[in-house]
Chains A and B, each alone.
Chain A
């Protein structure tokens, strides 16, 4: 089945220790998104890649970076995690403009990040 995969599902890191979260997709979608979701809140878009083009949201802290080495993979790097970065991180994909009005985001299972 085509899907969005996130690894690991649970990640524990120490305050200030860099961490990388991984997302891969078998949908061959053009767009990959990273969201941060804190408890009892809606997902908040951090950034997205449309193919190789990186699009950062204006209020995303510099502490968050992303890489997309190829169509299938996208990484979220948190350079110096603080206690406030503890959250669920969701990866999503969509076809983008090629899908027109039918463009739909499909989400992975998420990575729960704990910062000690």
Chain B
């Protein structure tokens, strides 16, 4: 079955440290992949997306992600964490034959001063 897995329900980093949020997908063909961020009591905001063009995708707020077909991964990174990055992050994918999103379970990012 097609699915997406986010490793680590909580990730804690110090301000200024590297942020790495992991996402792996399970699909027989490469899907389209998305990262969304959700702040408390807010909707989901699109950070970036992979739609089979460049494998390294740059998004908003200094985030980027790299699609690695050999590892079935789409990990989200940011070189230097800021306090304002504290939020819930969701990885999601969509198959070419569908416009419905399949979400991972989410990772809560905590940023320590």
Binding site for B on A (CB under 8 A): 4, 6, 31, 40-43, 45, 48, 88, 90, 92, 94, 96-97, 101-110, 112
Contact = CB atoms under 8 A, between A and B. Distances in A.
A110 B46 contact: no
Contacts of A109: 42-43
B103 A102 contact: no
Contact of B51 (A41, A48, A102): A102
A103 B100 contact: no
Interface in B1-57: 32, 34, 36, 41-46, 49, 51-52
B44 A41 contact: no
B47 to A, nearest CB: 11
B34 A48 contact: no
B72 to A, nearest CB: 18
18 contacts: A4-B43, A6-B43, A42-B90, A42-B104, A43-B103, A45-B100, A45-B101, A48-B100, A92-B44, A96-B99, A101-B52, A103-B94, A105-B46, A105-B101, A106-B46, A107-B36, A109-B42, A109-B43
